[in-house]
Amino acid sequence: MSIIAQSISYTHPDREVLFQHISFSISAGQKAALVGNNGTGKSTLLQVLAGLLQASDGSVQLSGRHYYVPQHLGQYNSQTIAQALGVAGKLQALHAILNGDASEQHFTALNDDWDIEERVHSALDYWQLQHLDVNQPMADLSGGEKTKVFLAGILIHQPQIVLLDEPSNHLDGPARQLLYQWIAQTKSTVLVVSHDITLLNQLDLTLELTRQGVTAYGGNYDFYLAQRDGQLTALQAQADEKQKALKQAKQKARDLAEQRQRQEARGKAAGKSQSLPRIVAGTLQRQAEQSTAKMKAVQSEKLDSLSADLQQLRTQVQEQHELKIDLRRSDLHRGKLLVDMQAVNVIVNGHPLWAEPVNFQLRSGERVRVSGRNGSGKTTLLRLLMGLQEPSEGQVIKAPFTCLYLDQEYSAINNHLTVLAQLQQHNQRHLPEHDLKMLLHYHQFNAAYWNRPCAALSGGEKMKLLLCCMAVTNHLPDVLILDEPTNNLDLQSQQVLTNAVRSFEGTFLVISHDEYFLGEVKLMSEFWMSE
């Protein structure tokens, strides 16, 4: 039931090295988190552990049956629920036997798993999926339903080791509570890749994946943060000391160079005055030149070493510091009626989306959470509010206001632009290109990203790029609307977003099931969407 990774490395097919010589272990029954910035390879590492990808070096030992819950679920759209769960063959064999077909192949396929159908139905019931048929295609399901299907697979297969990649993404509040409850009760060994801080605080071991490898912290996420704060202080102190030593070394090098120049000048003067025999003067000059060259080499090596150490420390400090985004005060006076939705409904497939028409008002300065179960129409409400969609019934009355909408598809990103061009498009502060590149690098977009098309970015990377765009614009919105903003966003960037939203003094609406994030952003009210 343990997990042991010994010096494993992974290289992409394009020969880009993602991580090298990573070693760690998780004991039987232990519950661990794998954290790190977007792009460090957390999901890839999880797939290597699950045997879905082959490490380019090293070895993996999983001492027990394992089960993997993937993050990206679109690749299963062509399968039925039963196929995605890996039980289609057994269910087919069971039904054939029950219908009188006693072929040996059916008994072989079933492998004495006579209660498989009962376990499937029980697992789907647990995850509130009793309305689904196992022969339904996965393509018909919402993101939350797909996630819950794979979580149901844990109860069906009863593994000893469970690998979870962003398991709370797309889950509504009740489903997240079920997930937290299962993790608290399970005896299985669990490794979770997640940006859900509530979930991470339930785990008793935190593994941080960085470019330097994996570091283990013997506690939950809050413990890990406290340890990281201490490390950041120590790193900053080391960087300050290295900066001081480098300055002193440079001054010493200048002093020595001046001293040698004076000595060489005296030697040349002595030679010209014929006070020394020519052969002696030449020998002394050569010795002085050799001594100077040797001294320069020693000083250069020392300066290079100090500079390299300082750069490494600065990089480590920079990786831990947070980007600051200043969302300034809106010009609208508080309490102004911005949106008045009267008896609104939307017809979907010939039926009203809401059993009761929606009446909703939004006033300047309010901070509102829009809540409801998966499929209750929360995103539709936001689209109606912004005028991106017209109601089938009722009316939406709007006052003039500016709005920034960060949706789940990151549609504010122009996929045809490069990363740098996208940032330049929002550069209303007219920062020079060098500063823009520094900002991108500071937010984990190194030089390899600058000319990469935005279409090639992951969801988390697109959200981080939007945060960078917000940092360079002068015209910030009257209304900020976020739809599941923390999905796929690494923990450092979540903190950047949280701090920015918390300080925003305009009007704020959010759809989120991330209770930790919601608790940090100073909400004033909640609007519940009934189905």
Give strand ranges (E) for 281-382: 337-345, 347-348, 351-352, 358-363, 367-371
Q: Is the pLDDT of residue 459 over 70?
A: yes
Q: What is the pLDDT of residue 340?
A: 95
Q: What is the pLDDT of residue 151?
A: 95
Q: Is the pLDDT of residue 7 over 80?
A: yes
Q: What is the pLDDT of residues 238-276, one digit of tens each?
A: 666 767 776 776 777 777 777 767 766 665 665 555 555
Q: What is the pLDDT of residues 122-154, one digit of tens each?
A: 999 999 998 889 999 988 887 788 899 999 999
Q: Is the pLDDT of residue 67 over 80?
A: yes
Mean pLDDT computed over 27-35: 94
Q: Is the pLDDT of residue 422 over 90?
A: yes
pTM equals 0.68
Q: What is the pLDDT of residue 286?
A: 61
- Residue 380: helix, strand or coil by DSSP? helix
Q: What is the pLDDT of residue 471?
A: 81
- Residue 27 corresponds to which tokens in the numbers above? 């004991």
Half-sphere exposure of 378 toward its Cβ, with a 13 Å CA cutoff? 25
Lowest-pLDDT range of 1-5, 78-82, 254-258, 330-334: 254-258
Q: What is the pLDDT of residue 76?
A: 86
- Closest to 41 measured CA to CA, from 200, 231, 204, 208: 208
Geometric angle at alpha carbon 239, from 235 and 244, rounded to 5°: 150
